[in-house]
Chain A
Amino acid sequence: MSRAAPQPVRRRLTPRQAQRVAQAVLWAMMALTVATLAFIVIYVLRKGLPYVTWTFLSQPPTDSGREGGVLPIAVGTLAVTALGVALATPLGLGTAIYLTEYTAEGRMTRVIRFGADCLAGVPSIIFGLFGFVFFVITLGFGWSILAGGLTLAFMILPTIIRTSEEAIRAVPQSHREVALSLGASKWESIYKVVVPTGLPGIVTGIILGVGRSISETAAVIFTAGSSLSHVVPTSVFDGTRTLSVHFYQLAREGISAEKAYATASVLVIAILAINVTAYALMERFMKRFR
């Protein structure tokens, strides 16, 4: 028997080199992501900010949006978003709590989770169609903030359920046991210990929902309408055009590029402001829980 000569181990990279390459590649990926985001935001703001004046913010649009501002549209957008998030948050959080705390893991919970995941992937225009048929026509709400808000609520519900569920599941089991052992009922252990501890994750889900709602176009065009109003909506039965829809109309119909970018800037700044505020409030609240 002849012994095979030991093959020299051929490595293209030493571990140290591989480590350096991996780090460089990961850094590049991160940098590309951040750069793309920054480019979009800066581009929009550079084109739009010069036209965001007090008049733009405080006046209704005139001449199909060629002149004037976006006040009724901005108010309508906030109203639709607030309604959607206000409806979806308790519903989603409640569902998540039920799924994690009150059911044993089994076929039923898997079916619900699978359903929620599928729902999260449904294109928003389908939600728009559903909202149009059900809320606008069948329930007779017409094109309204109410119909838009309800539709958005259903659209963001799966996201809020899944993120809340993950956040609640990540709370250590021992926290629940400690609460019970100190005389808490199951419900007390959930709302005094589990939910506050999981709050950062829950808030992240809500913020994702806010972002999706406020910038949604397809789902609200069918349900809140797209007609341009010159007065600020005062009732949930008033229709409204939202900022994204307004942007879409201004840009697509070639009405006014300046006003389109100004609208986009208002939307971007609003989303940033809402996110920053929400996280700041949460930080403040979480100080008690660490």
Chain B
Amino acid sequence: MSDPSATPVPPAAAAKVEIDGLTVCFGGNCVARDVTLDIPEHSVHAWIGPAGSGKTSLLRTINLLSIEVDRAKITGDIRLDGKSVLDGKLERSEVRRKIGMVFAAPQPLPRSIYENLVFGPKLAGKRNRAELDQLVESSLKTAQLWDEVKDRLDKSALALSGGQQQRLCIARTIALDPEVILLDEPCSGLDPISTLKIEEMMQSLKDHFTWVIVTNNTKQAARVGDRTAFFLLGEMVEEGPTEKLFTSPSDSRTGEYIEGRFG
């Protein structure tokens, strides 16, 4: 064991996603201001902060959803592997296939489990039935749902339980073969066991994906996050290795939030 004070700060792993001076505004109301943040590859990056701190808007900007759906005005830049996703050189659909998203409430589309999973791959041009079958099986296995649904793939996804639906949504995102997966409070409506399954899955898939998880549950951030960022009223207050942020935060507001004094 080396003395931590003697070793220099290890060089950060290559940044997969760089958020650079990003401001997100709706009309005149800026919900995130001048956020600069590097998300290292193959890690879990947790975002915490009270409601209204801009986490979700920021997350929805990474895959351009806030721009297209919520008509957000953006300044600053977001880069994936060093290439801007905002300058329009990459197709939006292309960006979204590389940066998948799972929403807060489970959002299966009203169709069969199978059709939910192949929705994205079919749009991307995959038509080969055997290939799609294979993809369905592998993504369901990855999301630890295969054993529960393998006999009823042609049944409605809406008949699954909440936890199963959310794992289906994660499997559906995985079926896109993305590089980054954004999770917007994915466990907010789930029971502890479903939550645990999803957290375990994130840990075990770090080699494949880069995860960004917005969570209102600071304990969850402490459990899953390699690094954690704390947001407050549109500002990123602090970002760092999760352990450091939780044990010796550099900003007093971070400590107060984590201790539950507000938010």
Find chain B residues with CB under 8 A from A121 CB: none
Task: Point out the residue from B63, B112, B158 that lies within 8 Å of A181, measured CB to CB.
Answer: B63
Interface contact B123-A181, CB-CB below 8 Å: no
A290 within 8 A of partner (CB)? yes
B78 within 8 A of partner (CB)? no
Q: Render A168-187 as a binary contact track against B, CB cut-off 8 A, 1 for contact.
A: 00000111111111111110
Task: Point out the residue from A173, A176, A182 that lies within 8 Å of B123, measured CB to CB.
Answer: A182
What number of residue pairs across chains A and B have CB atoms under 8 A from each other?
A: 66
Interface contact A176-B176, CB-CB below 8 Å: no
B204 within 8 A of partner (CB)? no
**Total chain A interface residues with beta-carbon distance under 8 A:** 22
Task: Point out the residue from B63, B115, B123 that lies within 8 Å of A288, measured CB to CB.
Answer: B115
Residue with the greatest number of chain A CB neighbours at <10 A, chosen from B105, B119, B173: B119
Interface residues of A in 234-290 (CB under 8 A from B): 288-290
A193 to B120, CA, bound (A): 12
Find chain B residues with CB under 8 A from A181 CB: 63, 65, 96, 100-101, 103, 173
Interface contact A183-B120, CB-CB below 8 Å: yes
A173 to B70, CA, bound (A): 11
A197 within 8 A of partner (CB)? yes
Find chain B residues with CB under 8 A from A180 CB: 65, 68-69, 92, 96
A67 within 8 A of partner (CB)? no
Task: Point out the residue from B93, B107, B124, B158 that lies within 8 Å of A178, measured CB to CB.
Answer: B107
A182 to B71, CA, bound (A): 19
B167 within 8 A of partner (CB)? no
Interface contact B107-A174, CB-CB below 8 Å: yes
Q: Render B180-202 as a binary contact track against A, CB cut-off 8 A, 1 for contact.
A: 00000000000000000000000
A188 within 8 A of partner (CB)? yes
Find chain A residues with CB under 8 A from B111 CB: 288-290
Task: Point out the residue from A177, A185, A192, A290 that lies within 8 Å of B103, measured CB to CB.
Answer: A177
Interface residues of B in 53-112 (CB under 8 A from A): 63, 65, 68-69, 71, 92-94, 96-97, 100-101, 103, 105, 107, 109-112
**Total chain B interface residues with beta-carbon distance under 8 A:** 29
Interface contact B68-A186, CB-CB below 8 Å: yes
- Main SS of the interface on chain A? helix
A175 with B109: in contact, given A182-B120, A182-B172 (CB under 8 Å)?
yes
Interface residues of A in 177-213 (CB under 8 A from B): 177-186, 188, 192-193, 197
Interface contact B109-A288, CB-CB below 8 Å: no
Least CB separation from B108: chain A residue = A178
B217 within 8 A of partner (CB)? no
Least CB separation from B115: chain A residue = A288
Find chain B residues with CB under 8 A from A289 CB: 110-111
| Distance from B144 Cβ to chain A, minimum over Cβ atoms (Å) | 20
Find chain B residues with CB under 8 A from A183 CB: 93-94, 96-97, 120, 123-124, 176
CB-defined A-B contacts under 8 Å, sample of 16:
A104-B71, A173-B69, A175-B110, A176-B69, A177-B69, A180-B69, A180-B96, A181-B96, A182-B96, A182-B172, A183-B176, A184-B119, A186-B68, A192-B119, A193-B109, A288-B115
8 nearest A-B residue pairs (beta carbon): A182-B120, A181-B101, A183-B97, A183-B93, A178-B107, A174-B107, A289-B110, A183-B123
Interface residues of B (CB under 8 A from A): 63, 65, 68-69, 71, 92-94, 96-97, 100-101, 103, 105, 107, 109-112, 115, 119-120, 123-124, 156, 158, 172-173, 176
Identify 6 new A-B residue pairs, CB closer than 8 A, beyond the known A174-B105, A180-B68, A183-B93.
A175-B107, A178-B103, A181-B96, A183-B96, A186-B68, A290-B110
